[in-house]
Copies of this chain bind each other. A is one copy, B any other.
């Protein structure tokens, strides 16, 4: 199992009209969901995707996508505009749930937490046992708040490096998924 945890500073926390972009950059969340959950014509059943929304008017909210039970989804933006609106209206979708919860409460319950840091240990140097059942915490387009980064460091989070480039959050998830795929075989 692998778990991606996204911190969204701006994602709307109520039903919205208009585009995902206009709803506090929920378009970034959509891109991350595609990278985390989808293979070609199949869903990654061993992945959980968590996003914590800190935008107005009702933060924080925790949305959970559980690959083991996710059904009836496609990769396009309109599909996820509809689903995220339904979830934010309190109507769950198969494999997608919402809780009224902040990220600190949730992350405290996890073991094997990883955060990105260019100067951390290179993802190429990890072995399978290090990354099995790991949780990867990822910032949105702005990055993680410093206060929260300090919090996860106090919890003993491991620092993971993907090299010198700074990638989009959705690319980070793709790279981690791929790196783990290659370790697991």
Residues of B within 8 A of A167 (CB): 39-40, 178
A12, B10: Cα distance in complex, Å = 34
**Nearest B residue to A139, CB-CB:** B40
Contact B175 A20 (CB under 8 A): no
The residues in A between 158 and 173 inclusive whose CB is less than 8 angstroms from any CB of B are: 162-171
A76, B81: Cα distance in complex, Å = 13
**Nearest B residue to A172, CB-CB:** B40
Binary interface encoding of chain A residues 43-80 relative to chain B, with 1 for a CB under 8 A from any of its CBs, else 0: 00000000000000000000000000000000111100
Residues of B within 8 A of A147 (CB): none
Contact A39 B77 (CB under 8 A): no
Distance between A10 CB and nearest chain B CB, rounded to angstroms: 14
Question: Total interface residues on A, using CB and 8 Å?
Answer: 36
Contact B41 A166 (CB under 8 A): yes
User: Cβ of A27 < 8 Å from any Cβ of B?
Assistant: yes
A75, B168: Cα distance in complex, Å = 10
User: Cβ of A35 < 8 Å from any Cβ of B?
Assistant: yes
Contact A19 B168 (CB under 8 A): no
Contact B27 A77 (CB under 8 A): yes
Which A positions have Cβ atoms within 8 angstroms of B? 19-21, 27-28, 31, 34-35, 38-42, 75-78, 124, 141, 162-171, 174-175, 177-178, 181-182, 185
A-B contact pairs, 25 of them (CB 8 A): A19-B76, A19-B77, A19-B78, A20-B76, A20-B77, A21-B76, A21-B78, A27-B75, A28-B75, A31-B75, A38-B168, A38-B171, A39-B166, A39-B167, A40-B167, A40-B168, A40-B169, A41-B166, A124-B182, A163-B181, A163-B182, A164-B181, A170-B174, A171-B177, A171-B178
